[in-house]
Amino acid sequence: MALSAKENYLRLMHGEIPEFVPSSYEPYSQGVSEELLTPVSAPNGPIVTALGVEYVGSPENNYGAMPTPGKILCPDVTQWDKYIKKPDLSDRNWEKYYMDQAKNFDREKNVLRVGGGDYWLTAVSFMGFENTMIAMHEEPEALKDMLAYVNEFYLEVLKKQIYYLHPDVLGIMDDDAALDYPFFSPTMYKEFFKPLHKTHTDLAKENNMVIDRHDCGRCEDFIPDWLDLGIQSWGPAQTSNDIKGIKAKYGNKIAINGGWDAIMPLDMPINELKDKLAAYTDTLAPGGGFLWAARFAGDMKDPRVIERNQAIKDFYYDYVKDYYKNH
């Protein structure tokens, strides 16, 4: 009997070769939102979080939520407790909040995913990028104290999610790198952020969850630490990282969810696009440890983008999905 998309995905996450190459064209995941945590998008104006940070979105970044420019919640990290306050959650109906979202989920066909753990980005949202970098060097203990306070709050949310939802996947999202370089060294990651991420990954492993890591930019220097934490997949695995070298070094110890360069000329011939798709697949699919995530970036209303994304979808079903059966 053929595996469901959920079973296929979990096989991949456990380091086995899946029956077919996973992709978004064969949906395997559903997730709940959590208003207490960092918002993913802000399409309808400013959002103020439970910790007091204001986020906004814009058409230029597809309404992805970003801290409102110029608004600094915590101007002095040594006095963080004057500015950062956890909300009173004593009267919150956690069960209703989660069950209202998940009551129609198909848990047989899809994994249920929860997220969080964005400590670097949370610090930046409180203080701004520059002030956070300075604090790491000049006021490390104050920064650690502030993040430990946030950690108590974030773990309270994760524990409630686990209790009421019994999720399958923990997604840790903490973008700590630019396109070409990480913002700090692995040594500083170990000092400031890895212990906090470990509280999440340990809790996930105790509850039989698999663990995914979202980290944009050139962040490959952190992979050994991710493996130490028990992280099993990483996306989007942008091509400023040495994707071929990572595949050769780690095999299916960490699944590459992406590894595709979506920025291409709008007039790229379809045949050339297919050649790129074949090379992408033939490089990363062998041996497992790969989630296929090709797409053509651009205005989704542009006929050229529509045509090329349709060609990508067709290529997945023509060549990629049954790759392990045919190779």
In single-letter form, the type of residue at position 172 comes to I
Let me know if residue 305 belongs to a domain: no
Supply the pLDDT for residue 60. Answer: 82
Supply the pLDDT for residue 299. Answer: 87
Let me know if residue 281 belongs to a domain: no
Supply the pLDDT for residue 298. Answer: 87
Let me know if residue 2 belongs to a domain: no
Let me know if residue 61 belongs to a domain: yes
Supply the pLDDT for residue 142. Answer: 98
31, 85, 202, 212 from 54: Cα distances, Å = 23, 14, 30, 27
The CATH number of the domain holding residue 113 is 3.20.20.210
Supply the pLDDT for residue 128. Answer: 97
Let me know if residue 185 belongs to a domain: yes
36-48 residue pLDDT tens:
999 999 998 899 9
Let me know if residue 67 belongs to a domain: yes
37, 116, 225 from 146: Cα distances, Å = 16, 17, 23
Supply the pLDDT for residue 2. Answer: 87
Let me know if residue 146 belongs to a domain: yes
Q: Give me the number of domains the chain comprises.
A: 1
Supply the pLDDT for residue 1. Answer: 61
135-158 residue pLDDT tens:
999 999 999 999 999 999 999 999
Residues of the chain with pLDDT under 70: 1
Element at 97 (helix H, strand E): helix 94-102
Domain hosting 176: range is 32-218
Let me know if residue 240 belongs to a domain: no
User: Can you give the pTM of this predicted structure?
Assistant: 0.95
